Chains A and B, each alone.
Chain A
């Protein structure tokens, strides 16, 4: 496990990023910047490399070539969190799952339990906090994953298609939680298939096509007139 720094991890600057796995080039020549305080969305077709990019930004996948810098430093920052499409919860209670995450960053005892309960309350899971996490519904599990991330008070929160497996009601709940977390000062980096969701939430859009970042545009401009032809084609197909 790489050493993590304690300093600010923003902005995240990516230069000429290339990621190769085996014979496949997953990302190439990616240049982008994640600015503090923004809600940055990564959009693109299936296999465009969105999930890979998120994992590089979060330090889970090392670049084959190119550089990623967090807050000017090459050391991976410790105060980030990530929520995946399918929540990976431990076989213990919801509360214990959140407390576990806090223990990983060295917060223990009553302070940890208090922070955990606050986070669970914020996502509306007080009632089921003591139940085994794995018996919760899909929507509840994803909210628990968010509570876990929230309790960490991260500088950056990554979300990889967090509502892809959820019904509209649960999707709405997740989105409102993301808004709340953002309101507390966390920078959001998110991928989604759901363009309506992107329209609702995005401040900034990074568009990926076949592993290349064709543009990084403020959201309101992107949806009206994207800079790249690939993005325009993508928006066209999604519309139909």
Chain B
């Protein structure tokens, strides 16, 4: 990001307002698309999308199962699931770090300080979020459909699948919430990833680094690029959803 460094120094000479600096800088960043920045954005996206997909694959069925099945202490399970939405990312990062460290039980896989470790940590972080929120969504759908599904003698596995599909639009929002959390999170990925230049540096950890170097306009500008990215993805998801509603119902 050499050109950016040059721009940064010239802005400092003018001593402009930090926020104003950052806006013009963020536009420049998007337009110029420095290859290093592009690589960081690419890694951020792959990591966030990957962990979101894993969380959806694991979290949605769990949420649906807890919503539909009757078992003792169900209320406790729901409360625990909801509580886990507030898991501190840095704690999750620490736990996954201890797991993946060479001195830890999963050390032989050599996953620490790789993008894989970041995906694992984020998946651990977001899966409870997806499970807890989908539990509520599916439960609401279940209230509406439970008599009919039992009338049709649908088995548990079928009920889970049917409810997940029937509440798909609300669940899309749940998955997007998970994605938002993944894309914006820094506490877990910086511990398990190590913020290694060119390997595990993502948007959020790059912002943290630039902030700690005191380069606030650049940090803010990167933040604005990240927000714009997440916004674009959400807009695309919304458009897709509206089209699907009209087309498929």
Q: A-side interface residues toward B, CB under 8 Å? A: 1, 4, 55, 58, 60, 78, 80-82, 84, 88, 90-93, 100-101, 104-105, 131-135
A–B Cβ pairs within 8 angstroms, 14 of them: A1-B153, A4-B153, A58-B151, A60-B150, A78-B153, A81-B151, A84-B148, A88-B147, A91-B249, A93-B248, A104-B152, A105-B152, A105-B153, A132-B248
Structural contact, A90 and B156, CB atoms closer than 8 A: no
Question: B165: which A residues are within 8 A, CB to CB?
Answer: 90-92
B150 touches A131 (CB 8 A): no
Which of A1, A58, A91, A133 sits near B156, CB closer than 8 Å?
A1
Report the minimal beta-carbon distance from B152 to chain A, rounded to whole angstroms.
4
- A90–B154 contact, CB under 8 A? no
- List residues of chain B with CB within 8 A of the CB of A80: 151
The B interface is mostly helix, strand or loop, or mixed, namely: helix
Please name all residues of chain B whose beta carbon is closer than 8 Å to the beta carbon of A135 when the two chains form the complex. Answer: 249
B129 to chain A, nearest CB (A): 24
Whole-angstrom CA separation of A4 from B144 in the bound complex: 24
**With the chains together, A78 CA to B155 CA distance in Å?**
12
The answer to whether A60 and B154 touch (CB under 8 A), given A91-B249, A133-B249, is no
Chain B residues with CB under 8 Å of A93's CB are: 248-249
**Minimal Cβ-Cβ distance residue in B for A131:** B249
Supplied contacts A82-B151, A92-B165, A92-B166, 17 more A-B pairs, CB within 8 Å: A1-B150, A4-B153, A60-B147, A60-B150, A60-B151, A80-B151, A81-B152, A82-B148, A88-B147, A88-B148, A90-B162, A91-B165, A91-B166, A91-B249, A101-B152, A105-B153, A132-B248
Query: B148 — which chain A residues lie within 8 A by C-beta?
Result: 82, 84, 88
Chain B stretch 119-175: residues in CB contact (< 8 A) with chain A: 144-145, 147-148, 150-156, 158, 162, 165-168
A88-B144, A91-B166, A104-B158 as given contacts; A132 in contact with B153, CB under 8 Å: no
Nearest opposing residue in chain A for B154, CB measure: A104
Closest approach, in angstroms, between the C-beta of B48 and any C-beta of chain A?
Answer: 28
Interface residues on B, range: 10 to 19
In the bound complex, CA of A152 to CA of B156 (Å): 20
Task: Please measure, in the bound complex, the distance between the C-alpha atom of A4 and the C-alpha atom of B158, giving whole angstroms.
Answer: 16
A101–B168 alpha-carbon span in the complex (Å): 20
Nearest 3 pairs of A and B residues by beta carbon: A132-B249, A88-B148, A82-B151
Q: Is the CB of A1 within 8 A of B155?
A: yes
Q: Determine if A92 and B151 form an interchain contact, defined as CB atoms under 8 angstroms apart.
A: no
Across the interface, name the chain B residue whose C-beta is closest to A77: B153
CB distance from A141 to the nearest CB of B (A): 12
Per the bound structure, the CA–CA distance linking A56 and B155 in Å amounts to 19
CB-based contact B168/A91 at 8 Å: yes
Chain A: minimal CB distance from B225 (Å):
37
CB-CB < 8 A to A134: which residues of B? 249
Give the residue among A78, A92, A104, A131 with the most B Cβ atoms within 10 A.
A104
| A residues in contact with B152, CB < 8 Å | 81, 100-101, 104-105
Bound: A81/B152 CA distance, A: 7
Known: A88-B145, A134-B249. A100 touches B151 (CB 8 A): no
Q: Is the CB of B153 within 8 A of A104?
A: yes
Cα A100 to Cα B158 with chains together (Å):
10
Most buried by A among B152, B162, B165: B152
